[in-house]
Amino acid sequence: MKGAKALSKAIRIAAAAALFVVLAVMLVWGFASARNAFDIGSVPAAQTFDQGWTTSDGSSVAEFPFEGSSPCSITNTLPTLMPDDNLILWYQEHLDRIEINGQVVFTSNKNMLLNRETTLGTTLVFVPLSAYEAGSQVTLYYHEAAYTGHVFIGSPPEYAAYLLETHPIGISLSVVLFLTGIILLLLVALFLAFQPKRDTLRDAALVAEIGCFFVCLSTWMIADTEILDPLFNIAAYNSLLSYLALFLAPLPFVSLMGNLLGESRRVTRILQAAYTINFLAQCVLFVAGVFDLSQMLVITHLLYAVGAITIVVIGVKHALSHRTRSGAVVAVVGLAVFSVLMTGGILAYRKMIDIDYAFFVNLGIMALTISLMYYAVGTLIRGVEQRARNAQLEHLAYHDALTGLGNRQAYENELDRWRQGAHESNLSVVALDVNMLKTTNDTLGHSAGDEIIKAAADCMGAAFENALIPYRHGGDEFSAVGVVSKEELDALIARLRALVENWKGTYCPSLSVSLGYARWEDFPQASVEELCKEADRLMYQDKSAFYQRIGRDRRAAR
């Protein structure tokens, strides 16, 4: 019980910390939006090199991202330079070469993946400018339809700072989601370590799916921001990482929806199968040289849009037609909002909506993070509390409420274990009965009677110290069972008698008990029942001798 409460408290603290981080990200978003709105502390114009470009026919290029027909070229003049400045170019396709003052400084290499040429994703180019001066002419040549995201002049660390400045929400959310996913997976492991029961596996699976989804989603987001490129110089693999994460993220997402919406499992399984088949088919077609991965990306987007709409429909239907827990309702609503916004993000990415697709993505991910965290934490807490309640009920089923000792059922279970097990010669059974209980109840009250019953239990526990396990299986009737040698048993009985003799209570001045014990070594042919009866017989002999000493009738004084 104490362990369950501690685990529940730890989960609540972790949840509070995670929600605090989410709120902090929301504040960052608001702060960044305010800075952009009022142009406060933005990146210096000299670092962004997106203005002043002209095409080969002399017309002005208004702004980046630049999209041009094939073939084409664009030209600009370098501004004032610092010794460690680089010309940093982010392009998707199809840059042929870069020239500065007529000298070729970069030639596009084929982007290879699994020994196949691919145009998947983006490429980041770093051209050192230390050999050139302000006013030098730089020209970008394209051999096919051009797409260049942005041009920047500065050092790689400055470019990383630029990305942090221009993508505060995407980067912050990706970090938060990744850490949250890892924390949830660790909590699941902790949960299963403390609660390894079959009835907790479903709750653990739900939270694990949320954690896996967060990890996949954060991987896609961090790759999409390109922050890894200047930091680790892995631009060639950034797009592949984004591509794989984009494929993997829907699998735990749809599985989660299937577990939340039990009657819609068939639909969610069909979606999972469709996403898996799409991934495998695209890999096979790419390796076979039939299609490039980027050419098949539209199919993936279409499948995701269909899946998102399907999940919205069944999620809303489920929320309206079932009385679910508030946590499940919040999760379904959050998933529905996320699906709608991600659909908008896909449409914006495909240029069907003239707005930055990151707006939809970031807003949807925030709604999803808060709703799923609420559901995941609530699920774990409910599981811990339910296991604690079950453990408490199980404890009450096998323990005496007054003394805390095992009750009659626990005593019978222990005897059954010995009936079915091997014969142990050192098995010992101790029978104990409280003397004068009826007289104590009649003269001093039932509080005094309860006191001496509890005192007998406490003395047995202190004397036997787990060498013998004590049970209360009647009103004032106790037994203890265990495997000890004759010498050990004599020492335990002597210690018990000393504790009883020295006991003094609040309502009762003293405690008196009768004892009897038997060992299988002394009765090798006896059954477990016969051994217990022998201990009882000797205990009643001791009780009769006690009442004879005080000159009272045993039945009347009991």
* CB-side neighbour CA atoms (13 Å) of 456: 28
Q: Quick check: 34 pLDDT over 50?
A: no
Cβ-contact 366, 330 below 8 angstroms? no
Which tokens is 137 given?
């002419």
**Range from 102-116, 150-164, 231-245, 453-467 that averages highest in pLDDT:** 453-467
What span, in angstroms and rounded, lies between the C-alpha atoms of 413 and 406? Answer: 10
Q: Quick check: 515 pLDDT over 90?
A: yes
- Say what the pLDDT of residue 497 is: 92
Cβ-contact 518, 428 below 8 angstroms? yes
Nearest CA to 212 among 170, 169, 241, 255?
255
Q: Quick check: 51 pLDDT over 70?
A: yes
What span, in angstroms and rounded, lies between the C-alpha atoms of 378 and 12? Answer: 9
Q: Which residue has the tokens 């009826």?
A: 438
pLDDT digit string, tens, across residues 190-248: 877 776 666 567 777 877 887 888 888 888 877 777 777 665 555 556 667 777 787 88
What span, in angstroms and rounded, lies between the C-alpha atoms of 178 and 167? Answer: 17
- Say what the pLDDT of residue 31 is: 47
Q: Quick check: 514 pLDDT over 90?
A: yes
Instruction: Tell whether the torsion through CA atoms of 396, 402, 405 and 411 is positive or negative.
Output: negative
- Say what the pLDDT of residue 39 is: 42
Q: How far is it between the farthest Cα atoms of the chain? A: 127
pLDDT digit string, tens, across residues 258-271: 776 665 677 888 88
Nearest CA to 243 among 272, 274, 286?
286
* Identity of residue 253: F
Cβ-contact 345, 360 below 8 angstroms? yes
Residues 6+ apart with CB under 8 A from 505: 448, 451, 452, 455, 511
- pTM value? 0.55
Please name the helix (run of DSSP H) or strand (run of DSSP E) that holds residue 543, with its range, or none: helix 528-550
147: three-class secondary structure by DSSP: strand
The stretch 260-285 carries a mean pLDDT of: 81
What span, in angstroms and rounded, lies between the C-alpha atoms of 157 and 163? Answer: 10
CA 207 to chain centre: 5
Average pLDDT, the chain: 77
Please name the helix (run of DSSP H) or strand (run of DSSP E) that holds residue 519, with its range, or none: strand 513-519
Nearest CA to 221 among 246, 185, 250?
246
CA 428 to chain centre: 48
DSSP string, 221-253: HHHHTTTHHHHH--HHHHHHHHHHHHHHTHHHH
289: three-class secondary structure by DSSP: coil
**pLDDT confidence band for 284 (50 / 70 / 90):** confident
Tallying the residues shown for the chain, one arrives at 558
280: three-class secondary structure by DSSP: helix
What span, in angstroms and rounded, lies between the C-alpha atoms of 350 and 347? Answer: 5
What span, in angstroms and rounded, lies between the C-alpha atoms of 437 and 429? Answer: 23
**pLDDT confidence band for 181 (50 / 70 / 90):** confident
Which tokens is 290 given?
């039939």
Q: Which residue has the tokens 């930055």?
A: 356
CB atoms within 10 A of CB 27: 10
- Say what the pLDDT of residue 261 is: 64
- Say what the pLDDT of residue 126 is: 85
CA 214 to chain centre: 10
The more confident residue out of 45 and 245 is: 245
Cβ-contact 406, 414 below 8 angstroms? yes
* Identity of residue 65: P
Residues 6+ apart with CB under 8 A from 111: 117, 118, 119, 120, 123, 236
> Which residues are paired to 481 by β-bridges?
429, 469
Cβ-contact 441, 475 below 8 angstroms? no
Percent of the chain with pLDDT over 90: 16
SS3 percent helix, strand, coil of the chain, rounded to 5, is: 60, 15, 25
DSSP string, 64-113: SSEEE-SSEEEEEE-----TT-EEEEEEEEEEEEEEETTEEEEEPPP-EE
- Say what the pLDDT of residue 183 is: 83
> Which residues are paired to 125 by β-bridges?
89
* Identity of residue 437: L
What span, in angstroms and rounded, lies between the C-alpha atoms of 282 and 1? Answer: 52
What span, in angstroms and rounded, lies between the C-alpha atoms of 142 and 70? Answer: 7
- Say what the pLDDT of residue 45 is: 44
Which tokens is 281 given?
């088919």
- Say what the pLDDT of residue 125 is: 82
**pLDDT confidence band for 378 (50 / 70 / 90):** low
334-348, 441-455, 524-538: least confident range = 334-348
